Amino acid sequence: MKKVYLKGLFSIFVTLAIVSCKKKTITNINNEYVSVKINKGKIDISSSVNNELKASFKVLGEIELQEYLPFTDDIWGKGKQLVFLHGDRKGYKTTIALYSGNPFVHLSTTICNNEKEDVVFSELDIGTISLSVGSEFDSLNTLGTGGLKTVKNSEGSYLYSMLSNPENRNSILTGWLTQSKGVGTFYPKITTENDKIQSYELKAGLEFGHFKIKKEEKRSTDTMILGFFNDGREGLELYGNHLAKAYNINLPKKPEVYCTWYHRDLNGSGASTEEDLKENVEYISENLADFGLNTIQIDDHWQSSLIKGLNYKNKKEFKEHKLGGGPIKTFAESNFNYPSGMRHTANAIIESKLVPGIWFMPFSGDKHNSYFNTEIFATDAKTGLPFEAKKWSGTIIDATNPKGEMFLRERFKRLYNWGYRYFKIDGLHTGAPSENVYVNRSYNGVNSYANAKIYNDDLTFTECFRRGITILKEEAPDAFLLGCTITQNMSAFTSSIGAVHAMRVGPDNDTARNGDWKNITKGADYAGNLYFLNNKVWYNDPDPYYVRNTNPLNKARWMVSWQAVSGVMGTSSMQYANLTAERLNLIKRALPTHNLTARPVDILENEKPKIWMVQNDRLSIVGLFNWYEQKETKIEYSLDKLGLDISKQYGVFDFWKNKYLGKINEELTSTLAPASCQILALKEIKSYPQVISTSRHITQGLIDIVNESWNTLSKTLSGTSKVVKGDSYELRVILPEDGGIPKTAMCDGKAMDVVLDGEIARLTYLPEETGNVNWKIRF
């Protein structure tokens, strides 16, 4: 026997209300960032740095026991924690922990089943958090997976939620540090009086699908964190670091990808064809590989249905065979698009020194296709039949079922043995019983998981999902995994942290190839508020940029520029030989993308961040983006808010205009034409010459200049750059105000062409090989 609860209610309920406490003693812990106090049952958390930042908690039921325990954690080091029992029959043990040098409060709960029978939760209300940043709530913003909203229009969020003052960036961040058991959520609640917001609360929860606690046993849940920050952006970026640390994430090298899917309008196949792919691979090898393009990913339409006469060109017969909707889900043999087979194609790609990649749906099957043994599937809790998602995702293969596991291992091993080392894994939410609710972004209070059963009901659905990914990694140990896509069901978003290397964070953007503005900006929109995950937790994949002639040049530049500056995973989709030199050059200037932390500077101020910035120790790159297709945007932003020193002067170079704009101080101003962008290199003015820009990449020296130094005695500017064979390389050097000009300029022993252009000098070199070159300029 077992008791089943659709929702468990307990734990860290955060309100300003006071609950009773059996002990009268005041218990508190603190570190250099935060203070936690429990007095008469009221749990208050406040910033030790900014007295305007506060939160308050309440637990259900009386607190029976309070303990103070100093301890050491394997990951976070020395800490202090408060431990107390509460809730029904004191069945809940909640721990609040602080760590030295760590601004986050860690909160976790273990459930003790004191009943004589098993209990099951589908989800759990972890608590309600009352937050205050010291300003009227009507003037504040919230940020979550749904983007930036005013408090009045706040939405539920997965993974994290932030309350922020856009004027001074004071912020409180709540987030889930671990999600190994369930899907972490936050749902807002506001109270108003006379149309004025009086309070703002967040209900924190976990969705399990199925969370069983055996009789007289206990089971831990996941860890939530809360932190106070004078600048919320710093909090988000630290959160990204802590997620990577908690999951011990070490990302492989970021791939630069050609994907077949988005030029299917040109050849009729989302997988391309054997002949077209061969042509593209040869072209890439000769013209784009040295720039960084290294991965060839074949998409949907390569796989056979294994039913004679049934393929993508006669889909009307699908109804006769009564197959499920969406893609064919066998992934066992190739169809007419690849008559020589997928192993043959992988070998050809490898011979070209590129990485073969393939699309498939790892956990999806089709109960209507006799290829599948229906015993491998999860079951519908109501009917007992195989669980099939209502949309095209298919029938869910249960990774906890021994027969399901065997099927998955054979599937994964097959593709791996063919030679593929890059997997685009679509319909990812089917790693656990769930519906395809595309497009999913914000949390609306509805459980992400379906009413279904898995073979091993000791595991939650999240654990089932992660089990499937583990099996995939075991059978394809060095394959790069791109998850696709969180917007089908956000359960795949939180459950994939630490499990995949990259993640499609938005919907398909197909129509951007024809200049559709909504889809051109879609990737930037969906990836912007997840920027703190990129290059740390995984690589954000916003879907491809499009440079073909059907996408106007200004819009194509917008797409490639945003991807280049933000540092997300770069993907393009085209038969490259069909591009003009001007359009092909856009791809060359975007390859590869950087691995630094780029910041949407105004992420706490504007729903669509207009200012992106990425820096290293020698240069700042600022990308300005107009989100309006039909009207201008004027940007006026102080250098102080950019994080620069307003007492200094900065030289500015515009990449797309190929023009030095002179010096600025105090404020950056620009008027952007409709549907346009501006990519600026900023460098502090010194008394000696400096490289402010290069021609190699949109980021103007950020990734191609390895080092740069000035020798005062010899009056020599020298450095090392990464260059590409046959790609003319230009250094743009700010000249000193005393009128110094280059006397000699050499690159790897050969003279550089020198042209004076106002306040800068342009020095050009034609590389004979791809690699590093050393240059010296004497003044």
pLDDT along the chain (779 residues), means of 10: 53 31 64 90 91 89 80 97 84 93 97 93 92 97 99 98 99 99 98 96 97 96 98 99 99 99 93 98 99 99 90 67 88 97 99 99 97 98 97 98 99 99 99 98 98 99 99 99 98 98 98 98 98 99 98 99 99 98 99 98 99 98 99 98 97 99 97 99 98 99 98 98 99 92 97 98 99 98
CATH superfamily of 266-504: Aldolase class I (3.20.20.70)
Q: β-strands 729-734, 183-193: how paired?
A: unpaired
Give the per-residue pLDDT at 131: 98
Q: CA-to-CA distance for 187 and 202, rounded, in angstroms?
A: 5
**CB–CB of 179/495 below 8 Å?**
yes
Helices 274-287/342-351 angle, 10° precision:
10
* 3-class SS letters over 567-591: CCCCEECCCHHHCCHHHHHHHHHHC
Give the per-residue pLDDT at 267: 87
Class of domain 2-246: mainly beta
685 CB-contact burial (10 Å; exposed 0-12 / middle 13-18 / buried 19+): middle
How long a stretch of residues is the chain? 779
Domain spans, the chain: 2-246, 266-504, 687-779
Report the 10 Å Cβ neighbour count for 144. 26
**CB–CB of 434/489 below 8 Å?**
yes
Class of domain 687-779: mainly beta
Q: What predicted TM-score, i.e. pTM, was given to this entire model? A: 0.96
Q: How many CA atoms lie within 13 A of 628 on its CB side?
A: 10
Give the per-residue pLDDT at 95: 94
- Nearest C-alpha neighbor of 498 from the set 524, 525, 523, 473: 473
**CA triple 676-678-682, angle to 5 deg:** 170
Q: What is the DSSP string of 179-193?
A: -SSSEEEEEEEEEEE
Q: CA-to-CA distance for 777 and 469, rounded, in angstroms?
A: 53
Give the per-residue pLDDT at 3: 58
**CA of 633: how far to CAs of 313, 630, 639, 674, 718, in Å?**
46, 10, 18, 7, 39
Burial profile 430-444: b = 16 or more Cβ within 10 angstroms, e = fewer: bbbbbbbbeebbbbe
CA torsion 289-293-295-301 (nearest 10°) is -110
Strand partners, 80: 70, 98
Chain mean position to CA 528: 9
Strand partners, 683: 651
